[in-house]
Amino acid sequence: VIYLYAVVAPAAPLPLVDGLEGAPAGERRIDEFAVVVSEHESLEPEPTEEAVLAHATVVDEVFRRGAAVLPARFGCVFADEPELASAVRSRGPELRRGLEAVRDAVELGLCVVGRTSPPPPLGVDGRSYMRRRLGELAEDDRIAAATEPLARLARATRRGHSVDGAVRIAYLVGADRVERFREELARIESAAPHLSLVCTGPWPPYSFSALGQEEASLAPA
């Protein structure tokens, strides 16, 4: 079977890197695209820490070459090359647009909580739920206002929450704007002592690789 790590715009040769279960990762051309894959007698990918790190390491190596890359989600397995090729071809136009959108950009992650936010409730009665939820909504507004300058520096932004309610934001930032982004972030940190922020990355553009439904929100720079 064939395990998929990423779809990329063809670029310099891939350095030698091990993928899942130590299998070497390699590159195949499919029309205008290249795919980074490893071959296995059989494989049922389990998301152990080792396997997740192996997947991420291959994607990182590919990303470091500087060419546009769409990371694959963990666990994409194909029976053989024809099946993989037909999957790529059937999504050709979306992949082309996706690669164009992330070209020369990196993903930066921001995790934020308000320092005054209430601790998670022990039980769930209606009243404490509503209070807590109102508190979260107000906190989200404050966080959105405080981080607005970062969104303006980004090509695109994705917002979400962790299961325990921390705000998580992913920014797609042009490589030439990463420095400005970090400066702006430092300014926000010192101006907003009521927020706890941790910035992660640069990541390959994992959060900006979903095809189809989310493309409409990819605003131009």
Partner 1 sequence: MIDQESDRYALERQVTLVELVDRVLNKGVVLSGDITLSAAGVDLVYVGLRVLLASVGTLDRLAAERTAEAAR
Q: Does 55 bind partner 1 (CB under 8 A)?
A: yes
Q: Among residues 198, 217, 219, 221, which is the contact residue for partner 1, using CB under 8 A? A: 198
Q: Among residues 87, 144, 178, 218, which is the contact residue for partner 1, using CB under 8 A? A: 87
Q: Does 78 bind partner 1 (CB under 8 A)?
A: yes
Closest CA to 160 of 149, 150, 152, 171: 171
Smallest gap from residue 209 Cβ to partner 1 (A): 4
- My answer on whether omega of the bond before 121 falls inside 30° of 0, hence cis, is no
Distance CA 120, CA 107 (A): 30
Helix 81-90 to helix 92-102 angle, to the nearest 10 degrees? 70
Helix 126-153 to helix 178-191 angle, to the nearest 10 degrees? 140
Let me know if 7 is exposed, middle or buried by CB neighbors in 10 A (0-12, 13-18, 19+). Answer: buried
Query: Considering only 13-21, 115-123, 126-134, 146-154, which stretch makes contact with partner 1 by CB under 8 A?
Result: 115-123
Smallest gap from residue 215 Cβ to partner 1 (A): 12
Residue 38 and residue 1 in contact, taking contact as beta carbons nearer than 8 Å:
no
Q: Does 162 bind partner 1 (CB under 8 A)?
A: yes
Q: Which two tokens stand for residue 122?
A: 């022990």
Q: Does 48 bind partner 1 (CB under 8 A)?
A: yes
Q: Among residues 38, 147, 157, 207, which is the contact residue for partner 1, using CB under 8 A? A: 207
Q: How many residues bind partner 1 (CB under 8 A)?
A: 53
Q: Does 168 bind partner 1 (CB under 8 A)?
A: yes
Strand 167-174 relative to strand 77-78: parallel, antiparallel, unpaired?
A: unpaired
- Residues at the contact surface with partner 1, assessed by CB under 8 A: 4, 7, 44-49, 52, 55-56, 59, 70-78, 83-84, 87-88, 91, 95, 98, 109, 111-113, 115, 117, 120, 162-166, 168, 193, 195-198, 200, 203, 206-207, 209-211
